[in-house]
Amino acid sequence: MNFELDDIQSSIQQTFRKFVDEKVKPAAAEIDEKKEFPLVLFKEVGKLGFFGMRYPEEAGGSGSDILSYCLAVIELARGSMSLAAACSMQSLMATYFLYRLGNDEIKSNYFIPAINGDKIGGICMTEPNAGSDLNSIATTAKVSDHGFSLSGQKTWVTSARVADFFTVFARTDNHDKLSLFFVPTDLKGVNIGKNIEKLGVCGSVTNEVYFDEVQLPPQFLLGAIGEGAKYLIEILAEIRIMTAALAVGVATAAFEDAVEFAKVRVQFGRPIGAFQAIRMKAADMAVQLETAKQMLFYSAWLCDQKIARQKEAMIVKLYASECANTICDEASRIMASYGYAKEYPMERYLRDARFTLIGGGTSEILKINIAKELGL
């Protein structure tokens, strides 16, 4: 086990770091303030090959390892969590099921354009009464003369207003288990609801979606009836590792800004970084951030070795997201009023970090499931 980056991984890290420093960070405040999907930057991320990193070359991707993917996610989140969240969703949940289960037509018309950044996908899973409890999903896909008739309401759908297609979790006739369906957004009966106003990650637009007897041909069933949850579990560890990488990215941004501020902010005749109280804060933040990185690299390595470790993925997601929120809070304290002002990005980091406590499973749900993995 060697966590020293190889030449390819270093090149990916530097490529995305340069892109973020030159194009993303200067635009991050505007993305947050306008609360609009960052389409131009999204397409540029596509040109960098990000959306296809986790797919093999024969499918149109680059076949990158998970660590390389995480390095890119960290850099994107360091620049803008809004952009990083939208791109990460596109690169995994919005496209994986098409790659894994879609027919040739779906792959050529939707999957390939999506991993090139030319089409946008969304995942429709959460409902008003079904979040962590997938058993409460009420959306139905009734067997019809021409395939299926899809009806129901979804919420918290990332990129919904700009999406070209959805992957939808629904129940079929007389079947308790979930199935997956491919749904182009231009079909009759697909309606995008209100924007959900959020505390942070404001440029990653989120909406309610309504399906009113949407007619789907049989080939839009992805995989087998009743196997939707099984397909989700296939990438669940990777989703949680990706969320941990988002957390490390925003925490890195907050930490770097706070340390730089402590070096130049002078009070009582010397930089505040010379005071022991600030040094202790900075040291604690450095320990948490480095620990989260090492846990992330280890979890990514486990996945790359094809070692199924749901427990480790849950642990790193839990730890990294909690640490990100602690680090952002401590960093804003170091900057005092400057960390509270809209003029500086620190307050945005603090708001955006909250997102990582929810995506991929809340801390409380993760603790319950970690305990189950321990046999308790």
Q: What is the pLDDT of residue 308?
A: 65
The domain defined by 7-115 carries CATH number 1.10.540.10: yes
The amino acid that residue 250 corresponds to is: V
Measured CA to CA in angstroms, residue 7 lies from 10, 271, 296 at distances of: 5, 38, 19
User: Which SS3 state, helix, strand or coil, does residue 244 take?
Assistant: helix
Q: Domain 121-226, what fold?
A: Butyryl-CoA Dehydrogenase, subunit A; domain 2 (2.40.110)
Maximal C-alpha separation, the chain: 80
Domain ranges in the chain?
Answer: 7-115, 121-226, 229-373
Please give the Cα distance from 285 to 252 (Å, whole number): 10
Please give the Cα distance from 11 to 151 (Å, whole number): 46
Cβ neighbors of 47 (< 8 A, separation 6 or more) are 117
pLDDT of the chain, 376 residues: tens digit per residue: 778 899 999 999 999 999 999 999 999 999 999 999 999 999 999 999 999 999 999 999 999 999 999 999 999 999 999 999 999 999 999 999 999 999 999 999 999 999 999 999 999 999 999 888 888 899 999 998 889 999 999 999 999 999 999 999 999 987 778 999 999 999 999 999 999 999 999 999 999 999 999 999 999 999 999 999 999 999 999 999 999 999 999 999 999 999 999 999 999 999 999 999 999 999 999 999 999 999 999 999 999 888 768 999 999 999 999 999 999 999 999 999 999 999 999 999 999 999 999 999 999 999 999 999 999 9
140, 127 Cβ separation under 8 angstroms: no
Tokens of 112: 């390939």
Please give the Cα distance from 143 to 36 (Å, whole number): 37
- As a CATH number, domain 229-373 is 1.20.140.10
Q: What is the pLDDT of residue 146?
A: 87
- Pairing status of strand 147-158 against strand 178-184: unpaired
Indicate the pTM of the whole model. 0.96
Please give the Cα distance from 315 to 237 (Å, whole number): 10
Please give the Cα distance from 180 to 148 (Å, whole number): 12
In a 13 Å sphere around the CA of 332, the CA atoms on its Cβ side amount to 20
Locate the DSSP E strands across the chain.
Answer: 121-124, 140-144, 147-158, 165-172, 178-184, 190-195, 206-216, 221-222, 266-267, 270-271
Q: CA 20, 21, 23, 27: dihedral to nearest 10 degrees?
A: 90
User: Which SS3 state, helix, strand or coil, does residue 79 take?
Assistant: helix
